[in-house]
Amino acid sequence: MFDRLQAVEDRYERLNELLSDPEIVNDPKKLREYSKEQSGIQETVEVYREYKSVKEQLQDAKAMLEEKLDADMREMVKEELSELEDTNEELQARLKILLIPKDPNDDKNVIMEIRGAAGGDEAALFAGDLYRMYSRYAEVQGWKIDVIEASSTGVGGYKEIIFMINGNGAYSKLKFENGAHRVQRVPETESGGRIHTSTATVAVLPEAEEVEIDIHDKDIRVDTFASSGPGGQSVNTTMSAVRLTHLPTGVVVSCQDEKSQIKNKEKAMKVLRARVYDKFQQEAQAEYDQQRKSAVGSGDRSERIRTYNFPQNRVTDHRIGLTIQKLDQILQGKLDEVIDTLIMEEQSAKLEAASNE
């Protein structure tokens, strides 16, 4: 482990040199690449350096105990030694986690797709609740939301809503939201007070850059049409809405949120690139050894991951057996307790897998 940590520190120092090189400074692509790499290992280097400092202090404290000291001084050194040993253990534990291979998508922006599933209007209303929950969470994180496509219902929900979340580390925190979300509550239209169960699906896609997924113009069919509002009525007489079809995979994306055809095409292209990238990732994941998968779930979109029970103010994440009696707060975007627990579970699973290799 420590050989790997020393190699990381050496690479960090080399990146410092490269980022001071005039040739690199004048090359935006390399400057961005090296800056991103350095940022990705900075925390590991800082903790490793702190660990080395504590280790030296431990050695000095142990050496002092071998000298002739009065009783008071010996007691002080023993107390310091005990504190340093605790700190040393904590730093080693942090370093083990920091050395876990990082998901290459973790720092990326996110494209989220929420769709009402089983339950008709109630499912669409729940899809709207989920959209507002993620919007509030993003706002607290300082992230920006940009709606790409929305198909609303007359009752205030969404049949489907697709939006981008721009923010550092967005994917690292939201990737666990992939799957089917279930709600249990009494609909406003239910006169008998019976609890209904409805579902909405959430897809979380990392934004794919052009260098990561090669999509040729010849592989895309572009169709334009007039934008439409609720009920299908035309809201724009110009052909501003855009539908893109990726012919090799059959992935189709539509966008009519903007009044400009060019802007709609740009937004649709971002979603298309993310969906094609995700399709390839899903296919690769299907071939991945089942025993090496994360304990928090396979990421299968059909997997029921969470239940929101309104009568009991309860949220249950079925993947890790987490139950929280704070549904009202969670729907206000206070998702940290759930997301942080999922991250810790994933880290524990990866640590266990690494120790078994």
Q: What is the pLDDT, as a whole number, of residue 211?
A: 52
Q: How far apart are CA 264 and CA 255, in angstroms?
A: 5
For residue 100 the two structure tokens come to 């876990």
Strand pairing of 241-246 and 220-225?
antiparallel
3-state SS of 317-344 is: ECCCCEEECCHHHHCCCCCHHHHHHHHH
Q: Name, in order, each residue with C-beta under 8 angstroms of 37's C-beta and a sequence gap of 6 or more.
A: 11, 15
Q: What is the pLDDT, as a whole number, of residue 307?
A: 94
For residue 118 the two structure tokens come to 């089983």
Q: What is the pLDDT, as a whole number, of residue 230?
A: 46
CA distances from 131 to 1, 99, 137, 331, 336 (A): 42, 34, 10, 10, 16
By C-alpha distance, which of 141, 142, 158 is closest to 150? 158
* Higher pLDDT, residue 291 or 264: 264
Per DSSP, the three-state class of 145 is strand
pTM above 0.85, yes or no: no
Q: How far apart are CA 286 and CA 278, in angstroms?
A: 12
**Which amino acid, 250?**
G
Q: How far apart are CA 75 and CA 65, in angstroms?
A: 10
Q: CB–CB of 77/65 below 8 Å? A: yes
Residues listed for the chain:
357
Strand pairing of 241-246 and 251-255?
antiparallel
Q: Which long-range contacts (CB under 8 A, 24 or more apart) does 79-86 make?
A: 84/54, 84/57, 84/58, 85/58
* Higher pLDDT, residue 205 or 297: 205
Q: How far apart are CA 28 and CA 25, in angstroms?
A: 7
Q: What are phi and psi of 101, to 5 degrees?
A: -55, 130
Q: What is the pLDDT, as a whole number, of residue 242?
A: 87
CA distances from 44 to 8, 102, 162 (A): 8, 12, 35
Taking only the tens place, the pLDDT of each residue in 265-320 is 888 888 888 888 888 777 765 654 443 344 444 444 457 899 999 999 999 999 99
pLDDT confidence tier of residue 105, bands split at 50, 70 and 90: confident
% of the chain residues with pLDDT over 90: 29
Q: CB–CB of 318/305 below 8 Å? A: yes
The arithmetic mean of pLDDT across residues 200-219, rounded, is 79
